[in-house]
């Protein structure tokens, strides 16, 4: 199925670049653009896209407030925040308020496409460099991590460790000389066995387990 996307960014050059990347994908279509948060909210409600890419610092309404408003008025639209600003407070606010991803604009086209695909199926993707930094700072004292429901295979342990290193699916496929589909299958098995919702949960479990010791 075609994933329908709205791009919200106050820079026309960024919107143009994102459109070029996404419309090169056979399963993606950009159905609208907005240069400010209010216009983005209106476009999302009028066009009912599957995914909305939102910058944080926009006129009229910022991307964080836009995310909160969309959860209330158009919960079927999944927001992926794409920004220049690498601040933990932005990451926490965006994910807490319902975003389905947080990317840095310098992350590259492959990760942008992967984030849109993840959001379209209800998963979350965060820029690997942010994920790794946050996991190293956090302490999961509020949760006692359960043992896997089934033993992890050797390959699943390898994949989990690479996810914790902040690698994308494409990076992992190249590192282990396996297909992208095989990586996704291993991730699905890891999420099921570890009882986590997404790759961030896989990484968190890995950092807290014996698979990967914190530096």
pLDDT in tens, 89-110: 787 778 777 788 888 888 889 8
pTM here is 0.68
The torsion angle over the Cα atoms of residues 97, 51, 32 and 57, rounded to 10 degrees, is 30
Q: How confident is the model at residue 214 (pLDDT cuts 50, 70, 90)?
A: very low
CATH number of 32's domain? 3.40.50.2300
Find all residues with CB under 8 Å of 76, minimum gap 6, and list them: 48, 50
Are 7 and 63 part of one and the same domain? yes
Tally of domains in the chain: 2
Q: What is the pLDDT of residues 65-94, one digit of tens each?
A: 999 999 888 889 999 999 887 777 787 778
Q: Please say if the pLDDT value at position 48 is more than 90.
A: yes
- Domain with 170, as residue range(s), is 140-208
- Rounded distance, CA 16 to CA 12, Å? 6
Among 63, 72, 51, 119, smallest CA distance to 91 is for 63
**What's the CA gap between 125 and 84, in Å, rounded?**
16
Instruction: Tell me which range, 36-45, 86-95, 141-150, 196-205, is most confidently predicted by mean pLDDT.
Output: 36-45
Same domain, 121 and 155: no
Tell me, what's the pLDDT at 87? 75
pLDDT at 137: 59
Same domain membership, residue 118 and residue 68: yes
Average pLDDT, the chain: 85
Going 15 to 17 to 18 to 19, the CA torsion angle's sign is positive
Residue 52 lies in a domain: yes
pLDDT of residue 116: 94
Q: Is residue 106 exposed (0-12), middle (13-18) or buried (19+ Cβ within 10 Å)?
A: exposed
Among residues of the chain, what percentage have pLDDT more than 90? 48
My answer on whether 144 and 122 are in the same domain is no
- End-to-end Cα, the chain, rounded Å: 43
Query: Is residue 22 predicted with pLDDT exceeding 90?
Result: yes
> Is there a single domain that holds both residue 99 and residue 158?
no
Q: Is the pLDDT of residue 171 over 80?
A: yes
CATH classification of the domain holding 146: 1.10.10.10
């Amino acid at each position: 199925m075609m994933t329908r996307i709205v791009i919200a960014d106050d820079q026309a050059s960024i919107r143009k670049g994102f459109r070029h990347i996404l419309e090169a994908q056979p399963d993606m279509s950009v159905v609208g653009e907005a240069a400010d948060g209010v216009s983005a909210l209106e476009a999302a409600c009028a066009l009912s896209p599957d995914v909305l890419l939102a910058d944080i610092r926009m006129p009229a309404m910022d991307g964080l407030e836009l995310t909160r408003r969309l959860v209330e008025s158009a919960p079927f639209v999944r927001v992926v925040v794409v920004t220049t600003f690498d601040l933990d407070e932005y990451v926490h606010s965006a994910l807490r308020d319902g975003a389905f991803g947080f990317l840095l604009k310098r992350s590259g086209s492959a990760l942008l496409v992967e984030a849109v695909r993840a959001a379209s199926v209800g998963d979350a993707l965060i820029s690997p460099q942010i994920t790794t930094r946050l996991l190293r700072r956090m302490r999961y004292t509020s949760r006692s991590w359960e043992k896997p429901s089934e033993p992890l295979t050797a390959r699943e342990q390898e994949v989990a460790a690479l996810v914790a290193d902040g690698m994308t699916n494409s990076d992992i496929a190249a590192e282990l000389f396996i297909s992208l589909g095989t990586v996704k299958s291993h991730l699905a098995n890891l999420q099921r066995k570890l009882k986590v919702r997404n790759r961030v949960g896989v990484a968190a479990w890995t950092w807290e387990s014996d698979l990967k010791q914190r530096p």
